[in-house]
Amino acid sequence: MRIFRHYDRIPPEARGAVVALGNFDGLHNGHLGVIAEAGRIAEQRSAPLAVLTFEPHPRHYFQPSTVPFRLTPFRAKMRLLEEIGVDSVFNLRFGPALAGQMAEDFIANVLVGGLGIGHLVVGPGFVFGKGRGGDSALLHRTAESAGFGFTEVAAVQDSKDGRMFASTDIRVLIRRGQVDLAARALGRIWEIEARVQHGDARGDALGFPTANMPLDGVLHPGPGIYAVRVGMTHRGETQWHDAAAYIGTRPTFAGEIMLLEVYLFDYSGDLYDRRLRVAFVGLVRKDQTFDSPEALKAQMTVDCERARDLLDQACP
């Protein structure tokens, strides 16, 4: 998969693509429906399949002080798009130039003049351009005269409750610790990816050595113990290990900084400075304060057994 960070000087083989356009934060089942429709059209036309998205997320640009909300940061999004067979990603920098561009100019300059798209696919309620002045109606009116096809995909609904899949709802589930329900909406287990840093070795002293990862600026589940799978790259492939994870400030030790600590079952090795993927399978229990380190240690033994049970019940 090729990643372009500009919309000019696009090579001939990447032009004429069927393009799915959107922020696609989460790449949930609704987003996947949009990209799947683009893929179906691309196959019919024997054209490349592409995704056009933006970095940073426009919400970060317009509301820089907002609380962390990204479901799929750039690295994870690119990996997922490659896995589903996207040929090219046009990942455009969202700054003053794009934010100030009128919708009609975006169509003329980016979609037609720059990328030379063959067909455009968007999800329901898609808006774009300065002041959110462009929508599906504008794209429909403009497409034929501009020389590209256009499709608006209907909302994809959860077969169990009929609700439309939405990133906002998934964020709420994650913050509540309902990571199993979030996984159903996403179509996959939700992950945090971060680099292991040095901690104060409290886990070692308790007999549960943990890999500590920062959570600054990262969307994360509420404080508690979780059953997780930890992925690490070895010779170009991701190897997965069952584990238990803690998210919280460690109130038993009067901690103040929110951390992610992961204890890998049946694993020994140096994890410092390694980048890990932590996939949240289920909530074991919410965070609590213990009277002593010994009481905490006894509970951690119980927590790990419960985490193992949850992981055994989950799909591999």
Contacts of 50 by beta carbon, 8 Å cutoff, 6+ apart: 14, 17, 18, 19, 20, 38, 86, 87, 88, 89, 90, 115, 117
Secondary structure class of 187 (helix, strand, coil): coil
Instruction: Identify any residues that bridge with 285 across adjacent strands, giving them in sequence order.
Output: 225
Task: Note the pLDDT tens digit of each residue in 46-72.
Answer: 999 999 999 988 888 888 877 888 999
Reference 41, options 155, 150, 156, 187; nearest CA is 150
Predicted pLDDT of residue 290: 84
Predicted pLDDT of residue 202: 59
d(CA 224, CA 161): 27
Q: What is the DSSP string of 18-68?
A: EEEES--TT--HHHHHHHHHHHHHHHHHT--EEEEEEES-HHHHH-TTPPP
The token pair at 243 is 């584990």
Q: Which of 39-43, 200-204, 258-262 has the lowest mean pLDDT?
A: 200-204
- Looking up tokens 């007999």 gives 207
Predicted pLDDT of residue 206: 59
Contacts of 268 by beta carbon, 8 Å cutoff, 6+ apart: none
The token pair at 304 is 């790990």
Helix axes 167-175, 179-186, angle to 10 degrees: 160
Predicted pLDDT of residue 253: 65
Cα separation values, 146 from 46, 81, 125, 143, 200, Å: 21, 28, 21, 5, 61
Predicted pLDDT of residue 316: 54
* Domains, the chain, with CATH or none: 2-152 (3.40.50.620), 189-313 (2.40.30.30)
Predicted pLDDT of residue 200: 65
- Is the whole-model pTM more than 0.85? yes
The token pair at 211 is 């890999």
How high does pLDDT run on average in the chain? 90
Under DSSP, the state recorded for 13 is G
Task: Note the pLDDT tens digit of each residue in 22-53.
Answer: 999 999 999 999 999 999 999 999 999 999 99
Predicted pLDDT of residue 273: 85
Task: Note the pLDDT tens digit of each residue in 83-119.
Answer: 999 999 999 999 999 999 999 999 999 999 999 999 9
Instruction: Identify any residues that bridge with 231 across adjacent strands, giving them in sequence order.
Output: 240, 277
Predicted pLDDT of residue 209: 83
On the question of pLDDT at 205 being above 60, the answer is no
Predicted pLDDT of residue 88: 97
Predicted pLDDT of residue 159: 67
